[in-house]
Structure formats: structure tokens, C-alpha cells
Amino acid sequence: MIVEGEKYEVEIVDLGSSGEGIGKAEGMTIFVNDGIPGDFVLVEITQLKKNYAKGRLIKILSPSKARRKPPCQHAEECGGCSLQAIDYEGQLALKEKWVKDSLTRIGGVVSPKVNDIVGMENPWRYRNKVQFSLSGINSSEKRYRSYKIGFYKSMSHEVADCESCLLQALPVEYISRAIREYITETGITVYDEKTKKGMLRHVVIKTAFGTGQIMVVLVSTERRLPDVRRLIDKIQGALEKVQDEVGQKIRGYSFESLILNINKQINGPTVGKENITLAGKTTIKDSLMGMDFEISPLSFYQVNPVQTEKLYEKVREYAALTGEETVIDLYCGVGTIGLLLAQDAKRVIGIETVKAAVIDANRNATINGIVNAEYICGKAEDELPKLLGQGVQSDVIILDPPRAGCEPALLKAAATAGPQRIIYVSCDPATLARDVKILTEFGYRFIEAQPVDMFPHTGHVETVVLMSRVNK
């Protein structure tokens, strides 16, 4: 019987969704922070529940063959890269296992066909978007003011102060330093979650890998920033500095857009709905798979362009278009998937709840000379039945929902539309498997899955699933 406060020897056999090691002692499941599969560890039980316990790693008795020293100096404190202590081959094997296990255990798929996961040749500096959280302790006396810029620690809202991140594009580190200097020199207050006071809350930096264009978004509780010219000069200087220090190793980057996002909500989303353009353009432009895309502050765009091309090629393969099909792209974002499929389809219709993303998607269709694609703003579960009522026939439906997966009403609407194929793009194996099971109950059959490592060193994996209609 497990006793709280006692120590036990535990073999770590799996990882949880937050990167915690999973093992067993005396028949009970134990969750252990910092443990990785293959480790044999000594654990002190810190919390005892009815069906599981949590433990603190006291000592690694025998390390996993996949264990390594994390390359990032902030890995132990930052909660962003939960898999950095595992070598990359070990990470890929673990993620592929997660997909198979979820489809079997949650989705009810017997012996699912899961292709070998697609990894990266160089799994560093791959992110084109960073979202820094800020945390401040504010005082009327400037010498007592302090702040942190970084990422949340694991399972908390406490910010780990991170001066560097090996997953972000290199210019991001230089811009981050410039923003730190701006905060210090202007005395602008940083939001404190405890007191609910302060001005700056988050910093979002978007880097278009295909063009080098950069957008900086400052999330604030106020509609004005002090000394904006100083901030612009510092960001410009940061980009000149990275070019001077790194030289020919990187392509040219250009600072194209400075946006102030207003978010006064105490509890709610990271960014607000209102954007004020302080300098430059309202959007930046990127190129992907031979097409151009405009990206606005609030629109969704895949964060790993190298792996995105591999992911979308698999979507194109699964769609198997002949030029006669109508494709309905749900959760379409700025329209990337639908527009890439439009050249092989008769018609593409995208549905998205974020108005700015729909504007971007329609503009992207115009930019690329695509006349057979249109985009609608609204909830897919509401708009899809309207299209069916107008006589629209769907041959292929693309589902690319957020991590929480699809609402049951949407899955029912998609199945009712009766497409021959449903292609589901997911960033969470558990919600993917749950939705696969629901679609199976609505008359669709799981064909195969293709995992793609879009997020190296983190506990996330992207998967494309092909499902085929069994009956109308």
C-alpha cells in the first residue's frame, strides 16, 4: 500500500500530456516530474489520490538510454519544452506511440495503421511565432520595480524569466532584449496577476520565414504606449545587430509591423479583440509551398513552416482530388489548406470564427489569383447546415480544430454533409481519438494516420487522419 511521504523505487514507462513521467509502485500509478521512459528512480510520494499518486524525484538510480542533458539553459525552469531531456529519436518514438495508443484506447480502433512519424532534420529554431508572458512587481518607486519576460513554468501561471529560447527564430532573442531595454528605460509598468495592475501583459512576435517580415504585437491594458519611437528604434537596431553578429548565416529580416493589442479582461484569452497599428502595416506576408499568405495579429497560422509543408502534402494526398470535388475547410484560419487544395478542386469553401482570419483568407485567395475559393465567418456547426440547405454538396471535408478538438454538433454536421472523405488535422492525440470514435459512430471508417513532429522537444504532436464514408 502506497503511503504519502514514503520513498519508492519506480520504473518510468511513459510520459503524461504535461511531460511528467509515469510509472507504478505496488500496483498504483505514480506521476513523477522530471522522469523519462527508461529511468529507474527513487521517488518520494507528495500527494496521494484514490487511483494515483504524485511523487518527487529524489534520485535517478539508473538513467534511461535516451536521457541527455537539455541543451537549453532554461529547460529545468521553463514549462515549454518538457521533452528536452530525451534525445530526438526517443522523442519521435514516444510521440508515435502516443498516437497509436490514443487511437486504440480512446478511439476504439483495432490495430490502427499509423505511418512512421515525420521528424525534422534540424529540430531547432523552427517556430515562426513566440508568445512571451510578462510578470511584474510594480511600485511607485522605480528602483523597486522588477519584471520577468518568458514562459510559464510547468503546471502554473508563474513566469520563468527566459533570456533565450532555442525553438524561436534567432531575431526573436534580439527583439526580446530590445523590449526589455524599452521597459527599463521608459518605466512602463508590467502586469501583475496578483494585484491585477500594470500595463504590458504579453509580447507576440511573428516571423515570416519565407519573406523575413516580422510583426511585433504588444498586449496591453491601455490604449497608448509611452515613447513609441524609442521602441521602434530599438527593434530596428536589434535586427541590425543580429545581422552584424551572425552575418551570412541568416537571411535578411525586416521589421514591418508594430501592433498594440488591447486586453483589459482579468480572466480570459491572452489577446483582446482590438488592435491598434502603431507603425508599419496591419499584416505581414509569408510564402509557403509556392503561394503567398497575409498574416494578421489574431489569425492562426502554423508555427513550423518546414513541417507544415510535409503536413499539407499529406493532406493533399489524402484528399485525392480530381478537379470535380467541392472541399469544405473547417477551422480554416487564414485559408492555407483550402487554398493549397483549390488548384485541384472544383470549389473550396472555408469556415472560421475569427473575423480577421476570414478577411485574411479571402485576401489570400485574391493575392494568389484563386477564384474558386470563398470564406465564411461563423461557427462551423451553424454555417455548414446552411450550406447544405443551399444545395452545396461536399465531397471532402477538412477538420483542423484547436487542441480541444471538435464540438459533437460539428462532427454531426460534418457527417450529415456526407463527404466521401474526412481529413482530420489534430495537435492532440487524445481529442483526435475521441472525435474519430464519434465519426465512426456516424458512419465513417478510420483508414490511416500520419504523425508529423511539428513541435520538437515539447509534449505535442500533429497528426493527419484519413476517414472514409461507409454509408450515406
Active site residue ranges: 427
Q: Is 275 exposed, middle or buried (0-12, 13-18, 19+ CB in 10 A)?
A: middle
Count of C-beta atoms within a 10 Å radius of residue 318: 23
**CA 24 – CA 299 distance, rounded (Å):** 43
**CA 169 – CA 442 distance, rounded (Å):** 43
**CA 103 – CA 243 distance, rounded (Å):** 46
426 CB contacts (<8 Å, ≥6 apart)? 400, 401, 405, 432, 435, 462, 463, 464, 465
Question: What's the longest Cα–Cα distance across the chain?
Answer: 71
The alpha carbons of the chain give a radius of gyration, in whole angstroms, of 24
46 CB contacts (<8 Å, ≥6 apart)? 4, 54, 55, 56
**CA 126 – CA 167 distance, rounded (Å):** 6
Q: Which of 93, 235, 222 is nearest to 173 (CA)?
A: 235
Q: Which of 219, 220, 208, 123 is nearest to 172 (CA)?
A: 208
Tell me which H or E stretch contains 384: helix 380-389
- Angstrom distances, CA of residue 217 to CA of 37, 220, 397: 39, 10, 33
315: alpha, beta or left, given left = phi > 0 and alpha = psi -120 to 50? alpha
